[in-house]
Amino acid sequence: EGSDRSGSLRSGEDPEPMTRPTMEDALVALRESFGYDAFRPGQSMAIESVLSGRDTLVVLPTGGGKSVCFQIPALVLPGLTVVVSPLISLMKDQVDALEAKNLPAAFINSTLSSAQVSERLARATRGELRMLYLAPERFDFGNVAARLKEIGVSLLAIDEAHCISQWGHDFRPSYLRVAEARKKLGNPPTVALTATATPEVREDICKQLALVDPQTIITGF
């Protein structure tokens, strides 16, 4: 399903042909938002693949700057990037760091009241957020997936993607919901990121998420 997605319009997009952001746009965002002049090894390839609209699997070691591989595309792509993250503390740390740089991000997880969730979805609807972090369980609550599809998701980023694989060391059953949620979002281009993935786990991540002809980038070990 969705094998001819590359040129198709996504829900919520302008019907005019979309001019894809370039690596030059990505470098400008890196300089202006993060203060770096160049990407690390692997990041450039990953970001280029993501900006081209291709499903991408990124295997970078811890501390290798995995989050930049979706945060920079989120800043230059139109619409909203949804980031699936397994740990409430990790999600909060990343959003706090982005907000400290005045980058518009928020999270939705079990620590929030339903009123707070509604307020954050309303901000996303108004185009005030570039990144919305979600725990995988959140797709099941209320009509979150349907609301996000209405808003229009430009990119789905799955952090700690090894959690979806039963071959992985940190399998989380809640991650099995992500593939279904991806369908509900309209199969947006997807980037899956992990620091630890054997060939079996990499293959399983791609299969479980139904990634289409994914570009796989492995670096830095």
CA distances to 28, 109, 116, 207 from 135, rounded to whole Å, are: 30, 6, 15, 21
Give the separation between CA 74 and CA 27, rounded to whole angstroms. Answer: 13
* DSSP letter for each residue of 87-112: -HHHHHHHHHHHHHTT--EEEESTTS
pLDDT, residue 6, reads 40
8-state DSSP, 30: I
Each residue's pLDDT expressed in tens, for the chain with a length of 221 residues: 343 444 444 444 554 456 889 999 999 999 999 999 999 989 999 999 999 999 999 999 888 789 999 999 999 999 999 999 988 999 999 999 999 999 999 999 989 998 999 999 999 999 999 999 999 988 877 789 999 999 999 999 999 999 999 887 788 888 988 999 999 999 999 999 999 878 999 999 999 999 999 999 998 65
Q: Is the pTM of this model over 0.85?
A: yes
